[in-house]
Structure 1
Amino acid sequence: MRIVLLGAPGSGKGTQAQQLISEYGIPQISTGDLLRAAVSANSELGKKAKSAMDNGQLVSDDIVLGMIEERLKDDDTQKGFILDGFPRNLSQAASLDALLAKSGKPLQGALLIDVEFDVLLKRITGRLSCKNCGSIFNRFTSAPKVKNICDKCGSELFHRADDNEATIGKRLETYENETAPLVNYFDEKGLLLKVAGIGEIEEITAAVKAELAKIS
């Protein structure tokens, strides 16, 4: 199963990706993780990426595509993969299609976790993270039992400075302008799978699995 995950910040893509990894035994390929790993390993692509980042530039699509191409050669991708973080716009989508066609691993689906703007805003601006174990809570929807204290390890919870309405609003606007058109792109190709990202995690996972059953 070869899919790309779509969804705005706060839509729950990361949570569902972990569920799918466990369920289907295929890796999540995050472009952010690929970049960090390549830079850490000091590979040729990593050197190019680091040079761009050190100069305050965006890492070029060619570099990211090169990293994806290398990653798809690993044995754990033979049964499929979950691509997360790329493509982010129509140009990248076309380049990705060409790469995957050349690799003999075309996408089978584009899974959209769909959540309305006001819900996304509440999810992100209410997010609390544990400084010790990394657990995530939300003061609006899943508050800790004791204010600002982690239920799991008892450590202090904190609210990220960039999880504010102004910053999140800009991130969501960028998503709408650049990434949302991908929904139409994949829909026209007959690849779009869509679930509402509202409800309990288990309910959303069940809906995701029902959609993915259409391509498996």
Structure 2
Amino acid sequence: MRLILLGPPGAGKGTQAMRLVEKFGIPQLSTGDMLRAAVKAGTPIGRRAQAVMEAGSLVSDDIVVSIVADRIDEPDASNGFILDGFPRTIAQAEALDAMLARKGMKLDAAIELQVDSSKLIDRILRRAEEARAAGHPVRKDDDPEVFKTRLAAYQKDTAAVTPHYRASGVLHGVDGMAPIGEVSASIDEILAAHA
């Protein structure tokens, strides 16, 4: 099962990804984690990424897609993977499609957790309060101002990715404002058609 989870910050992608990892035995791939791992391992692409980051620049789409390409060749991804937080732009989506095609692969589904942006801030504030009450650290991105900045960046760039996947016929929308169990059930229903 090769999946992409789409939706703004706070939509519940991480929660659903954890459940899907358990259900399908496939890894959740975070480009940030993969980038750090490639740099730490000193792979050729990791060394290229490190040089770019040390120069204070953003890592190019080419490097990010190469890191994803290397990662999905690892044994734990042989039955599929979940991409969370990538692709963020149309250029990345097109590069991902081309890379998968070269490997004889394609996405099974891009699942968009559709949410009411105005209600997301309440969700984020609640998440921060629950973390504090439980004695856990509050995530940096659960600060309302940081969250608003991330939401604006999502709406500017990443939201443009959904029409790309709609046009390719793999996009499925799910009500991300529903209770977690209902969101999970909706995703299961979509994926059952692809199993």
Amino acid at match of 1:208: I
Say yes or no: does 1:121 pair with 2:121. yes
Give the drift of 1:15.
Answer: 0.7
Equivalent in 135, 138, 143 of residue 164 of structure 1: 143
- Between the aligned partners of 2:112 and 2:83, the Cα distance in structure 1 is 12
Q: Structure 1: 5+ residue runs without aligned partners?
A: 129-138, 151-155
- Between the aligned partners of 1:112 and 1:124, the Cα distance in structure 2 is 19
Q: 1:157 to 1:43 in 2, by over 3 A?
A: same
- Between the aligned partners of 2:107 and 2:142, the Cα distance in structure 1 is 33
Quote the residue 1:88 is aligned against: 88
- Bigger RCO of structures 1 and 2 (CA < 8 A, at least 6 apart): 2
Q: 1:32 to 1:161 in 2, by over 3 A?
A: closer
Quote the residue 1:27 is aligned against: 27
TM normalised by structure 2 equals 0.92
Q: Percent identity?
A: 42
Quote the residue 2:63 is aligned against: 63
Give the drift of 1:164.
Answer: 3.2
Give the drift of 1:159.
Answer: 3.7
Q: Structure 2: 5+ residue runs without aligned partners?
A: none
- Between the aligned partners of 1:9 and 1:121, the Cα distance in structure 2 is 10
Give the drift of 1:11.
Answer: 0.6
Give the drift of 1:24.
Answer: 1.2
Judging by fraction of residues, say which structure has more helix. 2
Amino acid at match of 2:22: S
- CA RMSD across the alignment: 1.7
Give the drift of 1:22.
Answer: 0.9
Quote the residue 1:48 is aligned against: 48
Say yes or no: does 1:7 pair with 2:17. no
Q: 1:3 to 1:158 in 2, by over 3 A?
A: closer
- Between the aligned partners of 2:124 and 2:52, the Cα distance in structure 1 is 29
Say yes or no: does 1:109 pair with 2:88. no
Aligned residues: 195
- Between the aligned partners of 2:87 and 2:140, the Cα distance in structure 1 is 27
Runs of 4+ in 1 over 4 A off after TM superposition: none
Q: Is the 8 A contact 2:116 2:177 kept in 1?
A: no
- Between the aligned partners of 2:136 and 2:107, the Cα distance in structure 1 is 39
CA distances 1:80-114 after superposition (whole Å, capped 9, x unpaired): 11112211010111111000000111112111111
Give the drift of 1:212.
Answer: 1.3
Quote the residue 1:190 is aligned against: 169
Q: 1:120 to 1:189 in 2, by over 3 A?
A: same
